[in-house]
Structure 1
Amino acid sequence: MDILREFLQESGFDAGEQSSIIGQFHRRELSKGNLFAQAGRVCDQLAFVEKGLFQFFADRDGDEITTYTAGTADFVVSLGSFLKQQPSRESIRALTDSVLWSISRQSFNQLRQTIPSFELFYMGLLEDQINCIEESRYNLLTLSAEERYQKLMTDEPHLLQEVPLQYLASILGVTPRHLSRIRGQIR
């Protein structure tokens, strides 16, 4: 919980607001391989990752397509499902044994209504997600696989150590074999 409190403090919440917010979160442990969210079901929880690594993925003709990864001090949620209360198009799986701080949609919305600074915080989170999605889409459409890998090396080098090769390949839009060739050329 200390990492969540620290995150909230860095986000500008005072001690009273931090306590009110943290009081709505519940500790949850997920073992490696367990799902936080499942495609086809409504995601009614948002969680802050205290420890662990998560894979966001979709099924396409029996193949898993990794769309995103999240780790310590990130949030995990199937955002469209959480916001619209529609079945999720993706699943979210723990790649490691993990500890989360989870909040229900109902409690989340209650915080938005009762703590004005939480609504501003929420808007900031949404803006960050929109920018992340836009950059990811832009990179996938305009950069070569080699350029996307180099950008990953520069922007998020920890992922190269933490995320299995097949998931990195999927995120970059290449096969694991192609990614191995790219890595060999760049070293």
Structure 2
Amino acid sequence: MEGLGAFLGEQGFDIDQQAHVVQQFQRRALQKGDLYVQEGQISQYIGIVEIGVFQYFCLRDGDEVTTYTPGPGGFLVSLSSFLKQKPARESIRALTDSVIWVIHKSAFDQLRSDLPSFESFYIALLEDQINCIEDSRFNLLTLTAEERYRKLLDNEPHLLQEVPLQYLASILGVTPRHLSRIRGQIR
């Protein structure tokens, strides 16, 4: 709970608010390969990653397409499924042994109505997610594969050690073989 409380303190919650919010979360340990969200099911939880790396992915023509890989401090949610209570279009899987903090939608909604600071936190969370989606879309459409790889090196170098090559290739929109060539050229 200390980790979650510290995280909430960084988000501007005072001590009493932190205690109230932390009581609504549950700590969950996942093993490498465990699913947090399964495509086709309704997402009932938002999670915050304390330890570990996760993979958002969907199946396309029988192949996994990785769309996002959050690590510590990142949020875990199939956003449209959670917000609209519709089946998830993607799955979320632990790529490493992980620890997360989860809150059920009903408790989340109650916090939003009880605490104005939590509502502000929620709006900031949504804005951050929208920016991430926009950046990702823009980069995929305007940057070359080499430029996307360099950006990954600059912004998230830890992923190169923590995420298997085939998932990184999928995020970058290239085949694992093409990514190997890019890595060889850039080293």
TM-score w.r.t. the length of structure 2 is 0.98
Q: CA RMSD in A?
A: 0.6
Following TM superposition, the consecutive aligned residue runs of length 4 or more in structure 1 with deviations greater than 4 angstroms are: none
Counterparts of 2:14 and 2:54 in 1: how far apart (Å)? Answer: 30
Q: Tell me by how many angstroms 1:132 deviates.
A: 0.6
| Amino acid in the other structure paired with 2:94 | A
| Amino acid in the other structure paired with 2:22 | I
| 1:146 matched residue in structure 2 | 146
| Amino acid in the other structure paired with 1:54 | F
List aligned pairs for 1:13-162, cutoff 5 A.
13-162=13-162
Counterparts of 1:2 and 1:72 in 2: how far apart (Å)? Answer: 14
Give the count of matched residue pairs: 187
| 1:6 matched residue in structure 2 | 6
| 2:174 matched residue in structure 1 | 174
Task: For residues 80-101 of structure 1, give each alpha carbon's deviation from its aligned partner in whole angstroms, at most 9, with x where no partner exists.
Answer: 1000100000000011111111
Task: For residues 116-135 of structure 1, give each alpha carbon's deviation from its aligned partner in whole angstroms, at most 9, with x where no partner exists.
Answer: 11000100010011001000
Identity %: 66
Counterparts of 1:101 and 1:159 in 2: how far apart (Å)? Answer: 21
Counterparts of 2:175 and 2:17 in 1: how far apart (Å)? Answer: 46
Q: Tell me by how many angstroms 1:154 deviates.
A: 0.7
TM-score w.r.t. the length of structure 1 is 0.98
| Amino acid in the other structure paired with 2:181 | R
Query: Does the 8 Å contact 1:4/1:73 carry over to 2?
Result: no
Counterparts of 1:100 and 1:149 in 2: how far apart (Å)? Answer: 28
Q: Tell me by how many angstroms 1:66 deviates.
A: 0.2
Q: Tell me by how many angstroms 1:141 deviates.
A: 0.2
SS of alignment partner, residue 101 of structure 2: strand
Q: Tell me by how many angstroms 1:108 deviates.
A: 0.3
Gaps of 5+ in 2: none
Gaps of 5+ in 1: none
Task: For residues 23-76 of structure 1, give each alpha carbon's deviation from its aligned partner in whole angstroms, at most 9, with x where no partner exists.
Answer: 000111111111000000000011111111100000001100000001111111
Counterparts of 2:184 and 2:139 in 1: how far apart (Å)? Answer: 22
SS of alignment partner, residue 153 of structure 1: helix
